[in-house]
Chains A and B, each alone.
Chain A
Amino acid sequence: MAEPDDDPVYRDSKREALIILLAWAACMVWSVSYCYLNGYTRHDRVPGEVSALLPTLDQRDRTLESLTTPFGLGIPDWALWGIVVPWIVCVFFSAWFCFVYMTDDPEPQDRGEDEHLVNPAVED
């Protein structure tokens, strides 16, 4: 729960951390599920492993004949849409996050915090 006396750096960082975690989760869900569904030749359901929790996906098993490389780039379709395109989207996300969303908080040294650097070394 935010309190009125909370430091602005703490408040802003917490908000930014939440956005980052959401972005990471979105990348994972999209890339792993898209690549797993469209990039695997078989979808074994191994007892005792995560795969056993998934529904049967035999109809999605890939064959060599189904491989395409969109736009003639030479990148397999699943890798293009599951990894390369999201990677490019992430570059744009990073630009937005770094240059638009993330705030420049008051510089720490301006508030004198560095003066409290604990350095027990005794000057000669």
Chain B
Amino acid sequence: MTHELATGLVFLVYMVGVFGLAIMSNRLLQKKSFLAEYFLGSRGLGVWALAFTFAATSASGGSFTGYPSLVYTYGWIVALWIGSYMIVPVVTMGLMGKRLNQVARRAGALTIPDVIRERFASPGLGLFASAVIVFFTLTNLIAQFKAGGIILDVLLEGTPGYRDQIVPWVEQTGILSPLLAIAGANTGYVIGLLLFAFTVIVYTSYGGFRAVVWTDVMQGIVMGIGVLILIPFTMAAVGGLNKATKDLAERPPRLVVGLAAQDNAIEYYGKTPSDVIIHHTALPPAVALDIEGPPLTVEVLEDEQDRVQITINLAAELGTIQATARDVVEAVNASPEASRWVSASIPKLERYPDLSGNGLAPLMEAPNHLRPGRDLVFGPGLKQKGNGAGDPFHPIGMAISFFFMWAISGAGQPGTMVRLMAFRDSKTLRYAMFTVTIYFGCIYLPIIFLFTAAQQIIHPAELTAGSDQIMPQLASRVAPWWLAGILIAAPFAAVMSTVDSFLLLISSAVVRDIYQRSINPDLSEKSVKIISYSTTAISGVLVTLMALNPPRFLQDFIVMTGGGFAATFLAPVFLGIYWKRMTRVGAWLSMAAGFVTTVVLFSPVLLAAPLAALNISWRSEEINLFGLHPLIWGLIASFGLGILGSLASPKPPRSLINRYFAKPDLAGLDEPPPHQV
């Protein structure tokens, strides 16, 4: 059986499983209190459900695409980058789990804004929290839907009849013409997006929280087993990890020239940055008119000092050409001389900024740099793309930041915290915490071994769709068809398990926090049901439409979602459940300071596109003050102002403190919650 057919089969089985779980979940939904079951599984999650929904929600699509790609590109230093995962389960689940669960029960809270609103007796705070959640989640969902559409399009590529019958039929009948016009993309992507959206919207809307959790369990187990089984096949292919690491370390240096746009630099063989020199020249108009095909040609020669001179002749005026990276690669590869020096192609069709002038490299921000084999077994590594190409990949400031990023920031994600409100009892939490510790150890450590070794099996030039494809490529190369099928489908399952949680997060914020608690509290059970189902579905449809052609400014917000969430929510929730003196004023200041600090430090990223449209030159990377990630500054601002604001304002009323901090018999649990101001 071919890998493509196996993938199709795995996908089919997966779909049947997902819809089956949604139907079972909906049956359960009919027997319980609707809102608590639909958004929180009636606080009844057991060990396996809690462990795997937690793991699968944390392990987004990036765990099976971006993370393996980083290991493959940067080698062993990524072990330090991901190192905090050794303690992530204990921190993210244990730091607040038991206490947050208790406070949520006492508050009768179903969502994080609910907890904040009740603990600080402030509807305004609850609404602000909901607004932040809706905004960040929506922008992130658009990116995740886009990724889902692309992955599904690639997955279906090899399915018999898809490319040669279904896609042409769709194009001929024109049934998707309006969507294709919006998307400005190929038919395959639109079909993939619609199929992905239909699946995830239907099972999330219909089954609610419990369907999401059950599918997470299924996905988590399958993905974990897939990675573990891949280990022996890969190690057999490379002759063991010891040999793979040794070969990697001794690999001859390659010179990376900042020629390509963003994702993949062309690699040249060379020993020093001056070994390969790039010139750009404009061809005379008469000659340029005669050129067919790509608007450039390449000449290569070795000069008397043994340097390689590569001249790129542009069939247009300097500064005006818009050649694609592929044009450059094709032209370079067409030259027999150049092929001696070019070791990789550029997989992505990125345009590179206007070329102008002559020089060592066309992009001053992406200088030539050497990448010796030792860079892949030691730190700090070198950034391979973007404006910072050639800078250290993981300097000490970032190494510290990523211990905050994964562990501390992970504890402050609303999607994570809401799961801590859903478990049955503290025994469940203890067992689930240990299960996740084992699970992460079995996933994240082996991925380092697998993909540093993958360097010996797959050359970057073979990854024609980018290094994000390294996991399915490796699986196709070394594993039997059934395992390859599972691992090729893994990124799809991972994206889905993240998307479904986000979809419910938006829906709960709108239905529970905004509509029911602020606009119309006297809803009947029937109306609550209709509004919940339809809000989840409508949110999904809206996101699908936006994912057809995502607005640029929304995409820019995605980079700060994780940091923004943690900086906004961690301090008020953590201080709110552990510190009696935390006041409403402190909570307001804490949330606002965390949110504003993150936005300000990410503003260069957010402003880059609008300013570029005005022809204003602008840095496009976030501000890492003292070399530390904006998240850390966001947390400092949020905790600092939260504490100062609380100390400077009057103490919270005794009734409020008793409700959440006193023994049950003194907490006034038989009375209505303290008056909301």
Contact = CB atoms under 8 A, between A and B. Distances in A.
Chain B associates with chain A: yes
Interface of A: 5-10, 12-14, 16-17, 20-21, 23-24, 27-28, 31-32, 35-36, 39-42, 44, 46, 48-51, 54, 62-64, 67, 69, 72-76, 78-79, 82-84, 86-87, 90-91, 93-95, 97-99, 102-105, 107-109, 111-114, 116-124
A105 B524 contact: no
B664 A112 contact: yes
Q: 9 smallest A-B Cβ distances: which pairs? A: A74-B241, A118-B108, A49-B627, A74-B242, A13-B99, A87-B86, A28-B403, A90-B86, A94-B437
Contact of B98 (A16, A48, A99): A16
A116 B523 contact: no
Contacts of A8: 663
B508 to A, nearest CB: 13
Nearest to A97: B90
Nearest to A27: B87
Contact of A50 (B95, B240, B396, B437): B396
Contact of A6 (B91, B400, B662): B662
Contacts of A13: 96, 98-99, 102, 577-578
Contact of A114 (B105, B241, B437): B105
The majority secondary structure among interface residues of chain A is: helix
A122 B523 contact: yes
Contacts of B538: none
B663 A5 contact: yes
Interface stretch (B72-80, B325-333, B482-490, B613-621): B72-80
A76 B91 CA distance: 27
Nearest to B245: A74
B48 to A, nearest CB: 15
B666 interface: yes
Interface string B64-107: 00000000000011011001101101110011101101100111
B302 interface: no
B245 A5 contact: no
Interface residues of B, number: 93
A32 B667 CA distance: 44
Given A41-B374, A97-B94, A7 B661 contact: yes
Contacts of A121: 34-35, 516, 523-525, 528
A40 to B, nearest CB: 4
A17 B105 contact: no
B434 A98 contact: yes
A98 B249 CA distance: 40
B523 A17 contact: no
B76 A50 contact: no
A5 B666 contact: yes
A95 B91 CA distance: 14
Given A49-B397, A50-B626, A79 B79 contact: yes
Interface string B644-677: 0000000000000010011110110110010000
Nearest to A54: B396
A15 to B, nearest CB: 11
B628 interface: yes
Nearest to A118: B108
A31 B95 CA distance: 21
Contacts of B517: 120
A36 B80 CA distance: 9
Nearest to A63: B374
Given A49-B627, A97-B90, A113-B106, A35 B379 contact: yes
* Best-surrounded residue of B86, B249, B408, B433 (most CB of chain A within 10 A): B86
A113 B669 contact: yes
B602 to A, nearest CB: 19
Nearest to A117: B108
Contacts of A72: 242
